[in-house]
Amino acid sequence: MDKQDLQYLDNLRHSAAHLLAAAVMELYPHAKRTIGPSIENGFYFDFDFGDTKVSEDDLIRIEEKMREIIKTWTGFERYELSADDAKKEYPDNSYKHELIDEFSGKGETLTFYKSGEYWDLCRGGHVEHPNRELKHFKLMSIAGAYWRGDENNKMLTRIYGTAFPTKDELMKHLHMLEEAKKRDHRKLGREMDLFTFSEHVGGGLPLYTPKGALVRRLLTDFIEEEQVKLGYTQVWTPQIAKASLFKLSGHYDKYKDDMFRVVSNYSDEEYFLKPMNCPQHTQIYASRARSYRDLPLRYSDFAMLYRDERPGELNGLARVRSFSTDDCHIFCREDQVDAEIDKALQMTKHVMEIFGFKYRYRLSTRDPQNKEKYLGDPATWDKVEAWAVEIMKRNEIPYYDGPGEAAFYAPKMDLMATDALGREWQLSTVQIDYVQPERFGLSYTDSDGTDKTPVMLHRAVLGSAERAMMILLEHFEGRLPVWLAPIQVKVLPISDKHIEYAEKVVSTLKTGGIRAEVDSRSETLNAKIRDGEMEKTPYLLVVGDREQQEGTVAPRARGKGNQPAVQLENFLAHIHELVTQKSLEV
């Protein structure tokens, strides 16, 4: 979708937010409006309904009122009001008064837009003919939301909706949402016994079961194996650090509100749980003198990280407070940058092929309207942003621009992977950073004997193990590839007299390095098959009299049903081949 189409979709959804507010104000005249923006997949509007309880059962009535109102909306008329006149439009509405004071205090013109009998404080951005263009919408859900995202403020009622230019696009989106419910990683995590959360441990702090911990370790071990092939060396760093480290890096000023502060009983020094590895890696580099001959140095790190996410933003493994990343920081000479980035991009390409992901890159650059938010020389930023474009073109990688998505110290090349439902997720990232090495005073002795500052490259392939697990669970609908499945084979004895043979089969499989177990419960075979399929086990091996006598197994392959009986050693060889190739098939 090009920029013009995206802008139109944004205008359409913003218009739908106005329509939602108009319907709510007719049905609930006492309600207080706040804000209603368009968002990635639709729009929302936040209301203070006072003592009135509004639930998802009320969405049908609100949507019907929207369809009634839209018939009278022929366009949007723009008006300019003074702050005093604007406030008169919202008697006893402190939320709108706060916005009016904020905008007028900045010297901004206060604009209102009117359609039909409804008008509201708004910067603009609507469709020209709402009664003809705004037809294909649906209200989706209701949630709580703090005013301006601050938990110290009042909890408001947020109504979510979506809108599309055509009925076909709307229906496709609704179908995708239904499919997404089936693939919800939180649901799959329970069914497959992978992870849990506890209110006593805390929100956003996942607890991995033996099966979940195994999947997580298989992912990180896979990345580490690939890194070792390319000369990366693993380091390990503490999960806390003094505030002075983050002051030097710039995270203290830019990121402090999202960091957990640590209090010592024996020291007045300020510490934080680390939200990223890069500042500590600079200290490993700085621990000894470096020569141009030492470079590049490639440090990988799987240490735990912590970020103080807002409670309302926590979402299973998608948004957590504790996580680890397949982080790597490369310290190199400027003339080594291209080769190192190409190496990282080729590794990333290989990993994406393993999982079958299609992808493109987002060039995450500065916000052109707020360049003061970023550290470092603007000329260096210009250079690196242009360099990133050259890198994408040289590697023939499709990309799009992402203004405002850069880190505060460097632009990013962010990989956006497309899953089985067509949703995009950010996984890997590559960044060329001149800011951190300079702030930390890093140096190396060049061939001419002078001191030079190294370039620091930031690189992750899957990103956090937590988010990668979430994406993979939903992408595969829990049907993880054989090499990644926590239990690869489950053996199902038809009756108690077949349990001994089933255990011999499992013993042989385990000796061969296969993760297998026996289902010896006193359940029917159909019940065992059903439970094995619910757990997404790649292979179920049924064993009865015939298999026991002939030394065979009767495989039931996930998604393919019953397969012909085979000798156990042949089945074992087949599993080994799937694991070695990291095949997506069974």
The Cα 140–Cα 442 span in angstroms is 52
Find the mean pLDDT for residues 28-37: 96
Mean pLDDT of the region 488-515: 95
pLDDT of residue 575: 95
Mean pLDDT for the stretch of residues 55-83: 96
Do 385 and 365 contact (CB within 8 A), yes or no? yes
Q: What is the pLDDT of residue 313?
A: 83
* Residue 5, pLDDT score: 85
Residue among 489, 510, 497, 511 nearest 566 (CA): 489
Query: Predicted confidence band at 500 (pLDDT cuts at 50, 70, 90)?
Result: very high
pLDDT of residue 40: 86
Range 132-136 average pLDDT: 95
pLDDT over threshold 90, residue 254? no
Rounded to 5 degrees, φ, ψ at 106 are -90, 0
* pLDDT (0 to 100) of residue 1: 53
Q: How far apart are CA 87 and CA 85, in angstroms?
A: 5
Q: List pLDDT tens digits, range 189-202.
A: 999 999 999 999 99
In total, the chain counts a number of residues equal to 586
State mean pLDDT over 453-476.
95
Determine contact, residues 264/298, Cβ cutoff 8 Å.
no
User: For residue 496, what are the contacts with CB-CB under 8 A and spacing of at least 6?
Assistant: 520, 522
User: Is residue 306 within 8 Å of residue 275, measured between CB atoms?
Assistant: yes
Tokens of 16: 């739908």
Q: Using CA atoms, how far apart are residues 432 and 380, in angstroms rounded to an integer? A: 10
Could you tell me the pTM of the whole model? Answer: 0.85
| Average pLDDT over the chain, rounded to an integer | 94
- In angstroms, what CA-CA distances link 106 with 89, 99, 102, 437, 503? 20, 11, 7, 37, 75
CA dist 316 and 583 (Å) reads 28
Rounded Cα–Cα distance for residues 446 and 291 (Å): 6
Q: Output the pLDDT for position 2.
A: 58
- CA-wise closest residue to 476 among 330, 345, 332, 583: 583
- Could you report the per-residue pLDDT of 118-130, keeping only the tens digit for each? 999 999 999 999 9
Q: What is the pLDDT of residue 122?
A: 95
Cα–Cα distance, 409 to 384 (Å, whole number): 11
DSSP readout, 106-169?
TT--EEEEEETTEEEE------S-HHHH--EEEEEEEEEEEGGG-TTS-EEEEEEEEEESSHHH
Report, in angstroms and rounded to the nearest whole number, the Rg of the chain calculated over CA atoms: 28
The yes-or-no verdict on residue 312 having pLDDT over 90 is no
Instruction: State percent of the chain over pLDDT 90.
Output: 91
The 10 Å Cβ neighbour count of residue 107 is 6
Average pLDDT over residues 552-579: 93
Asked whether 360 and 401 are in contact (CB, 8 A), the reply is no
d(Cα 378, Cα 266) in Å, to the nearest integer?
A: 43
Amino acid 255: pLDDT: 87
pLDDT at position 220 is 95
Domains with residue ranges and CATH for the chain? 3-166 (3.30.980.10), 190-475 (3.30.930.10), 489-581 (3.40.50.800)
The alpha helices in 462-555, defined as continuous H runs, are 465-475, 499-511, 525-534, 545-550
Read off the pLDDT of each residue in 224-242 and give the average, rounded to a whole number: 95
Q: What is the mean pLDDT of residues 466-486?
A: 95
* Whether the bond into 296 is cis, omega within 30 of 0: yes
pLDDT over 90 at 527, yes or no: yes
Tokens of 425: 């997720």
Q: What is the pLDDT of residues 375-393, one digit of tens each?
A: 999 999 999 999 999 999 9
Closest CA to 307 of 333, 277, 282, 265: 277
pLDDT tens string 397-440: 999 999 999 999 999 999 999 998 888 999 999 999 999 999 99
Instruction: Please write the tens of the pLDDT for every residue from 366-379.
Output: 998 888 889 999 99
